């Protein structure tokens, strides 16, 4: 158990009737990393997570947490696991404090000093009934529940919903501390900036298919940046074609926009020769990176998704 | 009026209304079929004393068909209709607030008044359509079973039932619109229905109190004997007038208060607790919301309903003792003059004895009703975690699904036993107060039998929830078993030739052995317990295997 990866998803397929929510997804999350799980709404993020947690059962394939089987060893897994469901619901008639007491009792006790410390960091008000909470305050209670027993693996489904920016920052710090101590965080999100800021690796899921898993640093390295250049006079439409690392150059009079990867040197050389006046660069966001690099896989997933729907209709 | 909202209100509820109509039809059809098989019934009817005939609201000529419809209109049909009306009425405005959909609804440029009137019109339409459909279905059932219902004005009886039901619906609508609290509205209206039912049935039995029953709407369901004399329009007009006044009162409240935005739901208990004097008592009564474990948390979740249902049941049981003393002479004469076979046939226990009195009132109607309310809620508590979407957090603790499910089941068993104990203490006390000298061992036997019935019904709710993963399936499955069981035993049980059929009803096993007279019927107990265990085991098995919702 000690050496096994934090989470393994092994050829997971989950169908609901004719609808395939997740198809043949495999991924391995090592210990000590924050893994970002990214994808649009309805891509299959929550289905994957709920399979790992044994809330739903795979149609095919299996999941393991810390080397333990998600179905057979569900109870043992939960001893070492913290979970924050998406769109969190709690018992409206209990106060925040009572909610934590209840879950702590069911766990057989927790370190209350730790609970108090986390509550303090988030500025959580635990004395009111959950039913009277704002969504942000409810989310804070959910985060306390996920982290209070110092779990080796934490699975968070859309954790920052409703949190204000300061609390988000504090939460990201807490998450990083937790991972630095040797634990693992699985962070599902459709908020690109969040994943970009905190994740070590990121997986991109679309229409139930895992498109790619990349190290964040690699992604940044090969990530595209956008550049826009101003020249004193109109330039030839083909002036920027075929330059190393430059994609999709568009010329409009004396303005040129293009995207590039790697070094800017070859591009600058040509630009300088043409007497460039000014230059602006910006990063392309994660979403676009994926669409760019994994265009084929994305198209295949989209086609596959449509194919499934058609089969469903036929059946 | 807003046409789309009006139509949506109808669309949201037409399934419920249809289920009610079809169920009533099936019960009537089954009842007519069973009654028509009792050959001696007409002879008994001729021998029946005039007072009794008047009480049933029929004539001697109407035969078994009349007897059947009399039973129908005095209990099941009004309860179903009143239940529908008050549930629709309570949800009309307050339901949208509880679900948080009021926010979206009020973002449309339409006034609160128009929202309310559209919803009210929806309620009225649904009830009228339901009434017409049941009336037609009654006539159809009579045709199908070859019963002669020509001398009975079923339409008039349906009209009176519907007007009274709409009155209860208006009470719920007014409270819901005026306070925005759905559970307060349905709670108060349901309490009012139950109190009216008891008062309208019991008060006329006491000399000097006959007129007091007239302040309760339930009384007007069969006032003026509509099946013989047609609709008694004067009281109907008064009830309709008061219903409109209530709706206007709700409207007045709705225009003046803050709307709720869902989530921040405040229960009746919470509201009462805000009252200083009541609050101190209630807080003590309710105790602290327990967070010790799943069983204690489940018990504390059900505490309010158990305290209300069990408390009123207890008071009722104790009061029944002295009531029997006061009644003994009046009722005894009527019952004495009736042949025993007839008494058995129309399901009346022997009201001349204390055990028969408690059997007929506490064991046959009120006891099963109270224990059902408690155990159906408790049996559905497991799947309720899915409805509330709290199961994700709950199952993040290191406990297996089975461990959690068994603890929820244990809470249901404990609550059934609590109601059993209430029955035991209540009847024992009632008997002691009135010096009725009932056998304590037999009272304990009755308590055990009622508990077993509760376990069977609670396990039904648990089974449907475990299997289907829907809270509503658990609630309606449990309710369906209770209502169908009651109807089968009440209507089919009258025909000795059909005893085999009556045996599928848990009520048959509860009542057939007359536990207050004869102690525990071990066979009956074994049947009920086996059914309960099998249902619970199947529910647990299904729950462990399926995907969880939420």
Cβ distance A93 to B400 less than 8 Å, yes or no, reads no
Share of chain B above pLDDT 70, in %: 90
| Overall average pLDDT of the A190-201 stretch | 84
Residue B256 C-alpha from the chain's centroid = 34
Buried b (16+ CB within 10 A) or exposed e, B180-194: bbbbbbbbbbbebbb
Each residue's pLDDT tens digit, A88-102: 999 888 899 999 999
Neighbours of B481 (CB within 10 A): 24
Check A145 against B396: CB less than 8 A apart: yes
Task: Name the residue of chain B whose CA is nearest to A93's CA.
Answer: B289
Least confidently predicted of A275-279, B149-153, B448-452, B493-497:
B493-497
Which pLDDT tens digit goes with each residue over B474-496? 999 999 999 999 989 888 877 87
Q: Do the chains contact at B397 and A78, CB–CB below 8 Å?
A: yes
pLDDT at B166 over 50: yes
Q: Residues of A with CB below 8 A from B399's CB?
A: 75, 78, 106
CA angle A123, A124, A126 (to 5 degrees): 145
A77 CB neighbours in chain B (<8 A) are: 398
CA distances from B400 to A106, A209, B379 (A): 11, 30, 19
User: Which residues of A are less than 8 Å from B260 in CB distance?
Assistant: none
Q: Nearest residue of B to residue A133 by CA position?
A: B264
How far apart CA B246 and CA B239 sit, in angstroms, is 10
Mean pLDDT computed over A5-15? 95
- Whether B348 shows a pLDDT value over 80: the answer reads no
- The nearest CA of chain A is from the CA of B266 a distance in Å of 8
Q: Which residues does chain A have within 8 Å of residue B402's beta carbon, measured at their own beta carbons?
A: none
**Residue from B374, B373, B410 nearest B540 by CA:** B410
pLDDT digits (tens, 9 = 90+) for B61-79: 777 788 888 888 888 899 9
B291 → closest Cβ in A57, A98, A145: A98
pLDDT value, residue B393: 92
Average pLDDT of span B378-401: 94
CA distances from A208 to A13, A24, A204, A280, B256 (A): 9, 8, 10, 37, 50
Whole-angstrom distance, CA of residue B274 vs CA of residue B272: 5
What pLDDT shows up at residue A93? 82
Q: What is the pLDDT of residues B84-104, one digit of tens each?
A: 999 999 999 999 888 878 877
Closest chain B residue to A138 measured between Cα atoms?
B263
B548 to chain A, any CB pair closer than 8 A? The answer is yes
Chain B residues in contact with A53 (beta carbon < 8 A): 392, 395-396
Minimal Cα–Cα distance from A41 to chain B, Å? 16
Q: Assess whether pLDDT exceeds 70 at residue A232.
A: yes
Q: What is the mean pLDDT of residues B177-194?
A: 91
CA-based nearest distance A93→chain B, Å: 8
Higher pLDDT, B287 or B543: B543
The dihedrals phi and psi of A61, each to the nearest 5 degrees, come to 85, -175
Distance from CA of B457 to the nearest CA of A (A): 26
Asked if A55's CB is within 8 angstroms of B397's CB, the reply is: no
d(CA B162, CA B43): 33
User: What pLDDT, on the 0 to 100 scale, is given for residue B339?
Assistant: 59
Predicted local confidence at residue A228, as pLDDT: 87
Residue A46's pLDDT is what?
92
Q: Is the CB of A85 less than 8 angstroms away from the CB of B389?
A: yes
- Closest chain B residue to A94, measured at CA: B289
Tell me if ipTM is over 0.85. Answer: no
Q: Which pLDDT does position B542 carry in this prediction?
A: 97
Instruction: Give CA–CA dist B162/B81, Å, rounded.
Output: 7
pLDDT tens sequence across B496-512: 788 888 899 999 999 98
Residue A299 has pLDDT above 70, yes or no: yes
Average pLDDT, integer, range A65-71? 94
**Nearest-CA residue of chain B relative to A85?**
B392
For B57, the token pair is 């609201």
Nearest-CA distance B543 → chain A (Å) = 11
Output the pTM of the full model.
0.82
Highest mean pLDDT among A259-268, B154-163, B296-305 belongs to B154-163
Is some CB atom of chain A closer than 8 A to the CB atom of B402? no
Chain B residue with the nearest C-alpha to that of A99:
B291
Shortest Cα–Cα distance, A60 to chain B (Å)? 14
DSSP B92-122: HTHHHHHTTTHHHHTTSS--HHHHHHHHHHH
Name chain A contacts of B264, Cβ cutoff 8 Å: 131-132
Residues across chain B: 550
Answer for the pair A90, B390: CB distance below 8 angstroms, yes or no: yes
The kind and range of the H/E element at A220 are helix A216-222
Q: Tally C-beta pairs within 8 A across A and B.
A: 87
CA B148 from chain center: how many Å? 30
Distance CA A240, CA A284 (A): 20
Provide, as residue numbers in chain B, all residues whose Cβ is less than 8 Å from the Cβ of A102.
291, 297
Give chain A positions within 8 Å (CB) of B263. 92, 131-132
* Residue B44 confidence (pLDDT): 72
Query: What mean pLDDT, rounded, does chain B reach?
Result: 88
Q: What are phi and psi of B171, to 5 degrees?
A: -60, -50
B265 touching A (Cβ < 8 Å): yes
The answer to whether B331 and B352 have CB atoms below 8 angstroms apart is yes
Give how far A28 is from chain B: nearest CA, Å. 21
User: Edge-to-edge, what's the strand order for the sheet holding A255-260?
Assistant: A246-252, A255-260, A225-230, A278-283
pLDDT for A310:
35
């Amino acid at each position: 158990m000690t050496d096994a990866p934090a989470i393994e998803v092994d050829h997971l397929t989950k169908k609901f009737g004719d609808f395939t929510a997740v198809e043949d997804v495999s991924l391995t999350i090592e210990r000590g990393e924050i893994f970002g799980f990214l994808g649009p709404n309805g891509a299959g993020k929550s289905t994957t997570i709920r399979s790992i947690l044994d809330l739903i059962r795979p149609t095919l394939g299996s999941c393991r947490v810390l080397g333990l089987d998600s179905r057979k060893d569900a109870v043992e897994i939960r001893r070492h696991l913290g979970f924050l469901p998406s769109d969190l619901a709690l018992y409206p008639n209990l106060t925040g404090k009572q909610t934590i007491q209840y879950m702590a009792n069911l766990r057989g006790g927790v370190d209350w000093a730790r609970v108090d410390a986390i509550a303090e960091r988030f500025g959580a008000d635990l004395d009111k009934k959950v039913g009277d909470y704002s969504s942000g305050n409810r989310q804070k209670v959910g985060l306390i529940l996920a982290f209070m027993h110092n779990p080796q693996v934490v699975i968070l489904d859309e954790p920052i919903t409703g949190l204000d920016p300061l609390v988000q920052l504090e939460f990201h710090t807490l998450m990083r501390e937790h991972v630095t101590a040797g634990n693992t965080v699985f962070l599902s999100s459709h908020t690109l900036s969040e994943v970009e800021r905190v994740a070590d690796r990121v997986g991109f899921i679309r229409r139930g298919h895992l498109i790619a898993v990349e190290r964040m640093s690699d992604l940044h390295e090969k990530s595209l940046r956008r550049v826009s250049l101003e020249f004193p006079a109109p330039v030839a439409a083909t002036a920027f074609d075929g330059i190393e690392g430059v994609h999709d150059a568009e010329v409009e009079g004396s303005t040129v926009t293009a995207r590039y990867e790697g070094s800017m040197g070859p591009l600058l050389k040509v630009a300088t020769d043409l007497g460039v006046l000014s230059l602006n660069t910006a990063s392309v966001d994660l979403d676009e990176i994926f669409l760019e690099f994994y265009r084929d896989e994305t198209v295949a997933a989209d086609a596959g998704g449509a194919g499934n729907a058609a089969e469903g209709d036929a059946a | 009026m807003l046409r789309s909202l009006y139509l949506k209100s109808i669309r949201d509820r037409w399934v419920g209304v249809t289920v009610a109509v079809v169920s009533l039809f099936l019960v009537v059809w089954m009842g007519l079929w069973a009654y028509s098989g009792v050959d001696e019934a007409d002879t008994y009817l001729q021998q029946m004393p005039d007072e009794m005939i008047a009480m049933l609201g029929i004539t001697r000529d109407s035969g078994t068909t009349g007897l059947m419809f009399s039973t129908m209109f005095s209990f099941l049909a009004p309860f179903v209709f009143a239940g529908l009306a008050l549930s629709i009425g309570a949800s009309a405005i307050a339901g949208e607030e509880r679900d948080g959909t009021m926010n979206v609804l009020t973002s449309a440029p339409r006034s609160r008044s128009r929202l309310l009137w559209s919803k009210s019109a929806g309620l009225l339409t649904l009830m009228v359509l339901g009434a017409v459909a049941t009336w037609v279905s009654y006539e159809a059932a009579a045709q199908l079973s070859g019963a002669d219902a020509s001398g009975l004005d079923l339409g008039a009886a349906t009209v009176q039932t519907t007007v009274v039901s709409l009155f209860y619906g208006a009470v719920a609508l007014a409270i819901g619109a005026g306070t925005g609290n759905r559970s307060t509205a349905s709670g108060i209206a349901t309490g009012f229905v139950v109190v009216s039912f008891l008062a309208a049935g019991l008060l006329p039995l006491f000399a000097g109190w006959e007129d007091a029953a007239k302040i309760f709407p339930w009384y007007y369901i069969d006032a003026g004997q509509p099946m013989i004399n047609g609709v008694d329009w004067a009281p109907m007009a008064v009830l309709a007038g008061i219903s409109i006044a209530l709706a206007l009162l709700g409207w007045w409240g709705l225009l003046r208060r803050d709307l709720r935005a869902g989530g921040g739901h405040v229960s009746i208990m919470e509201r009462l607790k805000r009252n200083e004097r009541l609050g101190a008592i209630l807080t003590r009564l309710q105790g602290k919301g327990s967070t010790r474990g799943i069983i204690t948390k489940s018990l504390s979740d059900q505490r309010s309903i158990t305290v209300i249902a069990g408390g009123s049941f207890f008071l009722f049981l104790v009061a029944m003792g002295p009531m029997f003393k006061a009644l003994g002479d009046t009722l005894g004469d009527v019952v004495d003059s009736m042949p025993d076979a007839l008494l058995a046939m129309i399901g009346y226990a022997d009201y001349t004895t204390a055990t028969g009195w408690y059997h007929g009132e506490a064991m046959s109607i009120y006891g099963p009703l109270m224990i059902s309310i408690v155990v159906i809620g408790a049996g559905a508590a497991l799947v309720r975690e899915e409805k509330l979407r709290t199961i994700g957090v709950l199952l993040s603790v290191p406990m297996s699904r089975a461990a959690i499910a068994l603890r929820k089941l244990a809470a249901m068993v404990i609550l059934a036993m609590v109601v059993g104990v209430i029955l035991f203490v209540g009847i024992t006390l009632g008997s002691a107060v009135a010096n009725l000298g009932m056998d304590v061992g037999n009272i304990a036997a009755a308590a055990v039998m009622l508990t077993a019935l509760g376990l069977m019904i609670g396990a039904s709710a648990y089974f449907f929830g475990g299997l289907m993963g829907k809270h509503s399936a658990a609630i309606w499955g449990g309710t369906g078993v209770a209502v169908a069981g009651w109807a089968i035993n009440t209507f089919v049980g009258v025909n000795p030739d059909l005893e085999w059929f009556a045996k599928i009803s848990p009520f048959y096993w509860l009542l057939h052995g007359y536990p207050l007279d004869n102690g525990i019927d071990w066979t009956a107990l074994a049947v009920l317990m086996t059914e309960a265990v099998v249902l619970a085991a199947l529910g647990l098995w299904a729950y462990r295997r399926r995907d969880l919702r939420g």
